[in-house]
Amino acid sequence: MRPYSACGALEHDELAKLEALSRSNCYAQRQQLFAQDEDAHSVYNITSGSVRLYRLLPDGRRQVVGFAIPGDFLGLSLAERTVYGAEALTSVTVCRFDREQFSSFVDEHPQLLRRLYDLANHELSLAQEQMVLIGRRTAEERVICFLVGLRKRWSHINNNSVTVPLPMTRQDIADFLGLTIETVSRAISKLARERALLVVPDGVRLLDVARLEAVAAG
Partner DNA sequence: CGTTGAGTTGACCATCGTCAACAGGAGTGG
Partner DNA sequence: CCACTCCTGTTGACGATGGTCAACTCAACG
Q: Which residues bind its own copies (CB under 8 A)?
A: 55, 57-59, 61-63, 65, 76-79, 83-84, 106-107, 110, 113-114, 116-118, 120-121, 123-125, 127-132, 134-137, 175, 177-178, 217-218
Q: In this structure, what are the phi and psi dihedrals at residue 24, rounded to the nearest 5 degrees?
A: -75, 150
At its nearest, how many Å lie between its own copies and the CB of residue 91? Answer: 26
Q: Which long-range contacts (CB under 8 A, 24 or more apart) does 154-158 make?
A: 154/69, 156/71, 157/69, 157/70, 157/71
Q: What secondary structure does DSSP assign to 3-64, as a single string?
A: --GGGTTS-HHHHHHHHHT-EEEEE-TT-EEE-TTSB--EEEEEEES-EEEEEE-TTS-EEE
In whole angstroms, give the CA distance from residue 140 to residue 187.
6
Q: Which is nearer to DNA, 25 or 185 (CB)?
A: 185
- Report yes or no: 138 and 102 within 8 Å, Cβ to Cβ: no
Taking CB under 7 A as the criterion, the residue among 53, 144, 179, 206 binding DNA is 179
At its nearest, how many Å lie between DNA and the CB of residue 170? Answer: 4
200 binds DNA (CB under 7 A): no
Q: In this structure, what are the phi and psi dihedrals at residue 166, rounded to the nearest 5 degrees?
A: -125, 80
Q: Which is nearer to DNA, 38 or 202 (CB)?
A: 202
Site for DNA in 104-163 (CB under 7 A): 138-140
In whole angstroms, give the CA distance from residue 150 to residue 132.
17
Q: Which is nearer to DNA, 75 or 85 (CB)?
A: 85
Q: Which is nearer to DNA, 7 or 173 (CB)?
A: 173
Of DNA, its own copies, none, which one does residue 6 interact with (CB within 5 to 8 Å by kind)?
Answer: none
189 binds DNA (CB under 7 A): yes
DSSP 161: -
- Report yes or no: 31 and 88 within 8 Å, Cβ to Cβ: yes
Taking CB under 7 A as the criterion, the residue among 184, 197, 215, 216 binding DNA is 184
Q: Which is nearer to DNA, 68 or 184 (CB)?
A: 184
- Report yes or no: 175 and 64 within 8 Å, Cβ to Cβ: yes
Q: Which is nearer to its own copies, 22 or 82 (CB)?
A: 82
The interface region with DNA, picked from 20-28, 150-158, 177-185, 205-213 by CB under 7 A, is 177-185
- Residues at the contact surface with DNA, assessed by CB under 7 A: 138-140, 169-171, 178-186, 188-189, 199
